[in-house]
């Protein structure tokens, strides 16, 4: 894994540099401070008692005439040692308490969880004071108390993370392979929770530093003749009004070290989370053929040379697509083919940091290059209806909102329309169902609700992105039929995104096949029976068994895998997997060319046979 | 990746135990009931299901989401506590004994079933039985090779592999444990369409070559039709139909099976006449339209 380079990269940022310098400084002072300044710090000078800060003594001297600045330097080691010791206790305690419930039996696990919950709920400082009193006043016991005090919070985090990892399939797999509990913890759980725990520990350390200084300041921590920063603050307390500088030294040291702990956490987070710096984008050379078509002018949605770029790669390459009024167009492709992004671009919903550019991006006389699509003429239906509905609001409220916001309808009128729309999409008892929340609906019903929401306005285009992928086949057919019925009634056009060419063929007039961010073929659904022209389309159909596939023959397969995002090739992107690929395919990218009425294909050597063997299309 | 769909016959390699060793058992699920929760809020995910997977055969288990098919699969490998009933492998009750299970499971999502911090070789190695520890590296290479993964990739972490490759590794891990029976839970539904076929071919070839019994769980009737000798249909935790594949698909007895079959999208075939209302199953299936959700999200987690 590229962990080391990522850490190096994180250290090269301004914050990383500052963190490295501060950490090094504190460490050096902790190691060499007592050697260099030890004598000065302990020298009692009865002539210089209670000196104010000045050139001779940076922060003045204390009640015994000792130089405070030197004492701050010397105290660094003890303060750090105690902080790290307490942190160690917190981490050990937290890890043990946090991981145990996952491996113990259900009852013991619950007991531990409940205990930790109770301790977390208990005020932290009170808990520490309580422990400090029990263990007695003293340096070691204070560190112990603080460490234990921070353990419940750490345990809580570890418990949550562990529970998440323990529920994963790979831990389940290890269990059925008979891997022992201890090995599961060490090999499967701990490595996968290490990063967030490390982050949390950095914060805990900063908190412990402050807490410990507080204890010492109160006189419960480090006892004379030892001293840490908190103790130094305590000693200067009565002078703070007269000579503030005497308290500034230890105070500043605490703040600076605390910040450094926090910064270390940030740097570790930066190194572990997210991707590194963005690679500079190479501007791809566009192969643009200039032929504006007549149909484009009248299209409801017209997309010309659409490109969607993300840092480091181009996800959609020069896609030209138009949907006319009332037409149903299906985009078929695998994950990463750019089919969803194409649809999202048409709706102005491409997620950050994606950048959309197009020569033309027009929907219903609205130039989407300049304006966002507005109003209710565009309806979206997503794959996961649970994620696209607000779980906290009733379904009726969410639907009514559309009418209220966009049509200025009153509350009652809007709700009445919501009820009507829910009825229109086949929801039984819509009058009662409007007051239910999304979780009270099943997957298929939620998808109906999403469609109803689109119908609250007068949609001219419905974009449905894998609307049935999360549904059962029986429900899938109903939702698809509903989309068809809705279209028949409202006259809206449909842009249906799916990985399943069969689904698209049932609902759409025209199929667009995408691969690696490009349209590779476009054809009327009726022509599917005559066979497709692009080898990828043919393979896509042949690779999936259907109810008529010959059981005795291996499935047609496509060797290799789709290109990863950012994996750019010369020539046809499908060439590495294509049995028909020639040298030309590997060097020159084919352009989308018209091969018949309504048919376009981007291939140098399209399949021309009328009936191909891969699929018996009825 | 190797050319998809071809399996190198390494089983007969000299010195190594044949890959198929131990993979010839039968699985019998007797009156399995799985219930979650207690008292009134209890949900019965699997209700008194009996199912047999004879040695060397493939039984397809189909059903919608919430039908309890995955829960039954997990119960068979001991991942889900069984409320009532027995799991028998080769006629021996599996009880609740810990340790390596004679039934292994291949999970749906290859992105979740491999430890991201463990090299794929290490993941497979964990499955190698203790008595073969000495030859572990050899065994790992053999099983990776068997599923069409270059053994040289064994030091890679899962994130460096594609979905199809990961699923192959997961399959290698399950086979390396020398299971008597394999349970495959929706193994292709998280994969890209273009690699599904290759993985299905691989599973089919391995099953025929090694002859292990397999419970193949899927929601996809076309996939099950392609692989299974017998088909069992579950709906709302209940086994509604079971029989030879051809018979179940061509002459289904139960309403729900008919509904499932009519829902399969086919290229160029028209959709049902009307979208119907929610709850109303296409063919008025079991339980019919009582206003309840069509998938009351039972179990299946």
B34 phi and psi, to 5 degrees? Answer: -125, 120
Residue with token string 């269990």: A175
pLDDT of residue B52: 95
Q: pLDDT confidence of A614, banded at 50, 70, 90? A: very low
Alpha carbons B172 and B151: distance in angstroms, whole number: 11
B-chain residues near A428 (CB < 8 A): 277-279, 289, 291
A-chain residues near B118 (CB < 8 A): 187-188, 191
Residue B156 in tokens: 């890679």
Residue A413 falls inside a structural domain: yes
Count CB atoms within 10 A of the CB of residue A283.
8
User: Which of A438, A457, A476 finishes a domain?
Assistant: A457
Residue A513 falls inside a structural domain: yes
- Closest residue of chain A to B225, computed from CA coordinates: A547
Same domain, A445 and A524: no
Residue A98 in tokens: 């946090």
CATH of the domain at A128: 1.10.3720.10
pLDDT of residue B284: 37
Same domain, A603 and A551: yes
Neighbour-count burial of A1, counting CB atoms closer than 10 A to its CB (0-12 exposed, 13-18 middle, 19+ buried): exposed
Distances (CA, A) of A304 to A4, A323, A368: 43, 12, 12
Alpha carbons A197 and A161: distance in angstroms, whole number: 9
Residues B163/B188, Cβ–Cβ less than 8 Å: no
Residue A108 in tokens: 């013991």
Closest CA to B226 of A185, A116, A543: A543
Tens-digit pLDDT profile for residues B98-143: 667 889 999 988 889 999 989 999 999 999 887 777 888 899 999 9
Residue A110 in tokens: 């619950």
Tens-digit pLDDT profile for residues A550-583: 888 888 778 777 787 777 778 899 998 888 889 9
Average pLDDT, chain B: 81
pLDDT of residue A297: 62
Cis peptide bond N-terminal to A476, omega within 30: no
- Closest residue of chain A to B297, computed from CA coordinates: A442
Q: pLDDT confidence of A289, banded at 50, 70, 90? A: very low
Alpha carbons A67 and A235: distance in angstroms, whole number: 13
Interface touch A169/B109, C-beta < 8 Å: yes
Query: Which residues contact residue A252 at a Cβ distance below 8 angstroms, ignoring those fewer than 6 apart?
Result: none
- Which of B182, B205, B271, B280 is the best mutation test for A, with the most CBs of A within 10 A? B271
CA B174 to chain centroid:
11
Q: Could you say which of A173, A556, A561 has the minimum Cβ distance to residue B197? A: A556
Residue A516 in tokens: 């690696």
Residue-wise DSSP of chain B? -PPTT-----TT-TTSPPTTTT----EEEEEEEEEESSGGG-EEEEEEEEEEE-TT-EEEEE--TTSSHHHHHHHHTTSS--SEEEEEETTEE-TT--S--SEEEE-S-TTTSS-TTS-HHHHHHTTS-GGGGGGHHHHHHHHHHHTT--GGGGGS-GGGS-HHHHHHHHHHHHHHT--SEEEEESTTTTS-HHHHHHHHHHHHHHHHHH--EEEEEES-HHHHHHH-SEEEEEETTEEEEEEEHHHHHHS--SHHHHHHHHHS--TTPPPPSS---TT--TT--TT--SSS-TT---S--
Same domain, A557 and A473: yes
Interface touch A499/B98, C-beta < 8 Å: no
Predicted confidence (pLDDT) at residue B149 exceeds the cutoff of 50: yes
Residues A50/A239, Cβ–Cβ less than 8 Å: yes
Same domain, A520 and A439: no
Residue A447 falls inside a structural domain: yes
Q: pLDDT confidence of A496, banded at 50, 70, 90? A: very high
Residue A492 falls inside a structural domain: yes
Average pLDDT, chain A: 83
A4: three-class secondary structure by DSSP: helix
Please indicate whether residue A12 or residue A74 has the higher confidence score (pLDDT).
A74
pLDDT of residue B105: 94
Same domain, A130 and A164: yes
Domain spans, chain B: 21-102+181-265, 108-178
Predicted confidence (pLDDT) at residue A529 exceeds the cutoff of 80: no
Residues A151/A169, Cβ–Cβ less than 8 Å: no
Predicted confidence (pLDDT) at residue A176 exceeds the cutoff of 50: yes
A-chain residues near B126 (CB < 8 A): 174, 177, 179, 187
User: Which of A409, A434, A457 finishes a domain?
Assistant: A457
A-chain residues near B268 (CB < 8 A): 505-506, 525, 528-529, 617-618
Tens-digit pLDDT profile for residues A96-128: 999 988 878 778 888 999 999 888 888 877 877
Residues A481/A427, Cβ–Cβ less than 8 Å: no
Same domain, A294 and A412: no
Predicted confidence (pLDDT) at residue B2 exceeds the cutoff of 50: no
Alpha carbons A78 and A578: distance in angstroms, whole number: 68
Same domain, A337 and A350: yes
Q: pLDDT confidence of A21, banded at 50, 70, 90? A: very high
Mean pLDDT over residues B73-93, rounded?
A: 90
Residue A366 falls inside a structural domain: no
Q: Which of A189-203, B11-25, B44-58 shows the lowest per-residue confidence on average (mean pLDDT)?
A: B11-25
A-chain residues near B196 (CB < 8 A): 543-544
Alpha carbons A165 and A159: distance in angstroms, whole number: 10
Predicted confidence (pLDDT) at residue A499 exceeds the cutoff of 70: yes
B-chain residues near A450 (CB < 8 A): none
Give the torsion through C-alpha atoms of B187, B192, B198, B201, to 10 deg: 40
Q: Could you say which of B112, B193, B278 has the minimum Cβ distance to residue A543? A: B193
Core vs surface per residue B20-57: b (16+ CB within 10 A) or e: eeebebbbbbeebbbbbeeeeeeebbbbebebbbeebb
CA angle A82, A84, A88 (to 5 degrees): 115
Structural domains in chain A (count): 3
Percent of chain B whose predicted confidence (pLDDT) is above 70: 81
Which is it for strands B213-218 and B58-62: parallel, antiparallel or unpaired?
Answer: parallel
Reduce the secondary structure of A135-163 to three states and give it as a string. HCCCHHHHHHHHHHHHHHHHHHHHHHHHH
Calculate how close chain A gets to B12, using CA atoms only, in Å.
23
Mean pLDDT over residues A213-241, rounded?
A: 84
Range of the domain at A220: 80-272
Percent of chain A whose predicted confidence (pLDDT) is above 90: 19
Q: Which of A223-237, A490-504, B157-171, B205-219 shows the lowest per-residue confidence on average (mean pLDDT)?
A: A223-237
Same domain, A483 and A511: yes
User: DSSP state, A508?
Assistant: -
Predicted confidence (pLDDT) at residue A229 exceeds the cutoff of 70: yes
Cα dihedral across residues A458, A372, A332, A454: positive or negative: negative
Q: Could you say which of A173, A499, A617 has the minimum Cβ distance to residue B173? A: A173
A-chain residues near B115 (CB < 8 A): 170, 174, 187-188, 191-192
Closest CA to B257 of B67, B70, B76: B67
Residue A350 in tokens: 């491409």
Neighbour-count burial of B91, counting CB atoms closer than 10 A to its CB (0-12 exposed, 13-18 middle, 19+ buried): exposed
Alpha carbons B82 and A450: distance in angstroms, whole number: 38
Alpha carbons B171 and B144: distance in angstroms, whole number: 9
pLDDT of residue B244: 95
Tens-digit pLDDT profile for residues A290-308: 444 555 567 889 988 999 9
Q: Which strands form B181-185's sheet, in the order they lie side by side?
A: B103-106, B181-185, B213-218, B58-62, B230-235, B238-244
Neighbour-count burial of A436, counting CB atoms closer than 10 A to its CB (0-12 exposed, 13-18 middle, 19+ buried): middle
Count CB atoms within 10 A of the CB of residue A280.
8
Same domain, A602 and A508: yes
pLDDT of residue A245: 80
Percent of chain A whose predicted confidence (pLDDT) is above 70: 92
Please indicate whether residue A436 or residue B269 has the higher confidence score (pLDDT).
A436
A320: three-class secondary structure by DSSP: strand
Same domain, A94 and A211: yes
Same domain, A146 and A206: yes
Q: Could you say which of B4, B105, B123 has the minimum Cβ distance to residue A559? A: B4
Distances (CA, A) of A606 to A115, A133, A526, A582, B1: 69, 84, 18, 12, 26
Residue A197 falls inside a structural domain: yes
Q: pLDDT confidence of B1, banded at 50, 70, 90? A: very low
User: DSSP state, A463?
Assistant: E
Mean pLDDT over residues A249-267, rounded?
A: 89
Residue-wise DSSP of B158-220? GGGS-HHHHHHHHHHHHHHT--SEEEEESTTTTS-HHHHHHHHHHHHHHHHHH--EEEEEES-
Mean pLDDT over residues B72-98, rounded?
A: 86
Predicted confidence (pLDDT) at residue A59 exceeds the cutoff of 70: yes
* B89, β-bridge pairs: B27, B92
Predicted confidence (pLDDT) at residue A423 exceeds the cutoff of 90: no
A-chain residues near B107 (CB < 8 A): 169, 172-173
Mean pLDDT over residues B148-160, rounded?
A: 89
Tens-digit pLDDT profile for residues A460-478: 899 999 888 877 777 888 8
Q: pLDDT confidence of A373, banded at 50, 70, 90? A: low
Which is it for strands B27-36 and A593-596: parallel, antiparallel or unpaired?
Answer: unpaired
Closest CA to B101 of B84, B123, B80: B80
Predicted confidence (pLDDT) at residue A89 exceeds the cutoff of 90: yes
Calculate how close chain B gets to A166, using CA atoms only, in Å.
11
Interface touch A169/B77, C-beta < 8 Å: no
Q: pLDDT confidence of B161, banded at 50, 70, 90? A: confident
User: Which of A433, A457, A481 finishes a domain?
Assistant: A457
Give the torsion through C-alpha atoms of A409, A412, A418, A420, to 10 deg: -110
Calculate how close chain B gets to A528, using CA atoms only, in Å.
8
- Which of B193, B220, B272 is the best mutation test for A, with the most CBs of A within 10 A? B193
Interface touch B123/A170, C-beta < 8 Å: yes
Calculate how close chain A gets to B59, using CA atoms only, in Å.
15
Rounded to the nearest 10 degrees, the angle between the axes of helix A190-218 and helix A124-135 is 70
pLDDT of residue A273: 54
pLDDT of residue A272: 65
CA A387 to chain centroid:
14
Same domain, A443 and A557: no
The fold of B21-102+181-265 is Rossmann fold (3.40.50)
B-chain residues near A178 (CB < 8 A): 98-101
Give percent helix, percent strand, percent coil of chain A, each to the nearest 5: 55, 10, 35
User: What's the number of CA atoms in the CB half-sphere (13 Å) around residue A614?
Assistant: 26
């Amino acid at each position: 894994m590229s962990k080391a380079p990522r850490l190096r990269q994180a250290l090269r940022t301004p914050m990383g540099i500052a963190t490295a310098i501060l950490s090094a400084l504190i460490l050096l002072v902790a190691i060499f401070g007592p050697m260099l300044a030890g004598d000065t710090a302990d020298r009692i000078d009865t002539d210089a008692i209670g000196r104010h800060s000045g050139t001779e003594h940076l922060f003045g001297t204390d009640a015994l005439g000792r130089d405070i600045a030197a004492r701050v330097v010397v105290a660094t080691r003890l303060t750090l040692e105690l902080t790290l010791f307490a942190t160690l206790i917190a981490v050990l305690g937290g890890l043990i308490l946090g991981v145990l419930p996952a491996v113990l039996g259900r009852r013991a696990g619950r007991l531990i969880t409940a205990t930790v919950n109770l301790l977390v709920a208990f005020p932290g400082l009170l808990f520490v004071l309580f422990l400090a009193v029990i263990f007695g006043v003293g340096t070691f016991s204070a560190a112990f108390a603080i460490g234990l005090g921070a353990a419940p919070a750490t345990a809580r985090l570890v418990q949550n993370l562990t529970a998440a990892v323990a529920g994963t399939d790979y831990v389940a797999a290890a269990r059925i392979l008979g891997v022992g509990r201890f090995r599961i913890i060490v090999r499967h759980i701990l490595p996968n929770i290490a990063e967030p725990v490390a982050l949390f520990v950095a914060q805990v350390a900063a908190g412990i530093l402050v807490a410990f200084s507080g204890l010492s300041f109160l006189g419960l921590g480090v006892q004379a003749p030892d001293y840490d920063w908190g103790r130094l603050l305590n000693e200067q307390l009565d002078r703070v009004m007269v000579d503030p500088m005497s308290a500034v030294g230890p105070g500043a040291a605490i703040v600076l070290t605390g910040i450094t702990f926090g910064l270390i956490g940030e740097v570790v987070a930066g190194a572990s989370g997210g991707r590194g710096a963005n690679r500079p984008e190479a501007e791809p050379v566009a192969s643009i053929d200039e032929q504006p078509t007549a149909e484009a002018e009248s299209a409801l949605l017209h997309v010309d040379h659409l490109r969607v770029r993300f840092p480091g790669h181009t996800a959609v390459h020069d896609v030209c697509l138009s949907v006319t009024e009332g037409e149903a167009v299906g985009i078929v492709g695998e994950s990463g083919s750019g089919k969803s992004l194409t649809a999202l671009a048409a709706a102005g919903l491409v997620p950050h940091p994606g950048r959309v550019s197009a020569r033309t991006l027009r929907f219903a006389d609205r130039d989407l290059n300049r304006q966002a699509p507005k109003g209710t003429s565009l309806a979206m239906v997503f794959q996961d209806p649970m994620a696209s509905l607000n779980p906290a609001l009733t379904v009726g409220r969410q639907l009514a909102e559309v009418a209220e916001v966009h049509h200025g309808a009153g509350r009652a009128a809007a709700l009445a329309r919501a009820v009507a729309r829910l009825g229109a999409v086949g929801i039984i008892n819509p009058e009662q169902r409007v007051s239910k929340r999304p979780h009270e609906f099943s997957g298929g019903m939620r998808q109906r609700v999403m469609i109803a929401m689109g119908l609250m306005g007068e949609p001219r285009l419905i974009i449905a992105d894998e609307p049935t992928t999360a549904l059962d086949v029986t429900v899938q057919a109903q939702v698809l039929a509903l989309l068809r019925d809705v279209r028949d009634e409202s006259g809206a056009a449909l842009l249906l995104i799916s990985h399943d060419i069969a689904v698209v063929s049932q609902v759409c007039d025209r199929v667009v096949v995408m691969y690696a961010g490009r349209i590779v073929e476009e054809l009327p659904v009726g022509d599917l029976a005559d066979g497709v022209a692009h080898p990828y389309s043919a393979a896509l159909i042949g690779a999936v068994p259907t109810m008529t596939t010959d059981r005795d023959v291996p499935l047609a397969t496509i060797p290799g895998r789709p290109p990863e995002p950012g994996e750019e090739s010369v020539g046809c992107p499908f060439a590495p997997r294509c049995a028909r690929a020639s040298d030309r395919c590997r060097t020159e990218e084919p352009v989308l060319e018209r091969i018949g009425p309504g048919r376009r294909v981007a291939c140098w050597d399209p399949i021309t046979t009328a009936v191909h063997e891969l699929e018996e299309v009825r | 990746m190797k050319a998809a769909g071809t399996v190198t016959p390494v089983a007969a390699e000299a010195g190594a135990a044949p890959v198929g060793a131990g993979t010839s058992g039968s699985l019998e699920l007797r009156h399995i009931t799985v219930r979650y929760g207690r008292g009134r809020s209890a949900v019965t995910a699997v209700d008194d299901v009996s199912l047999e997977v004879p040695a060397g055969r493939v039984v397809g288990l189909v059903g919608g989401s919430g039908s309890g098919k995955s829960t039954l699969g997990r119960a068979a490998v001991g991942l889900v506590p069984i409320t009532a009933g027995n799991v028998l492998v080769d006629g021996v009750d599996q009880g609740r004994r810990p340790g390596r299970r004679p039934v292994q499971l291949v999970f749906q999502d290859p992105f979740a079933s491999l430890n991201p911090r463990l090299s794929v070789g290490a993941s497979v190695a964990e499955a190698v039985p203790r008595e073969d520890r000495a030859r572990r590296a050899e065994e790992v290479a053999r099983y990776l090779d068997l599923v069409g993964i270059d053994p040289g990739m064994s030091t890679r972490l899962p994130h460096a592999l594609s979905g199809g490759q990961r699923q192959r590794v997961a399959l290698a891990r399950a086979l390396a444990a020398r299971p008597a029976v394999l349970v495959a839970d929706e193994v292709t539904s998280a994969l890209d369409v273009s690699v599904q076929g290759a993985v299905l071919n691989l599973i089919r070839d391995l099953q025929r070559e090694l002859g292990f019994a397999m419970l193949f769980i899927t929601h996809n009737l076309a996939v099950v039709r392609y692989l299974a000798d017998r088909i069992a249909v579950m709906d709302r935790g209940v086994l509604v139909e079971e029989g030879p594949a051809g018979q179940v698909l061509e002459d289904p007895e139960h309403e729900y099976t008919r509904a499932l079959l009519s829902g399969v999208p086919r290229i160029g075939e028209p959709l049902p006449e009307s979208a119907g209302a929610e709850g109303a199953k296409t063919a008025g299936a079991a339980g019919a339209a009582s206003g309840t959700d069509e998938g009351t999200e039972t179990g299946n987690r």
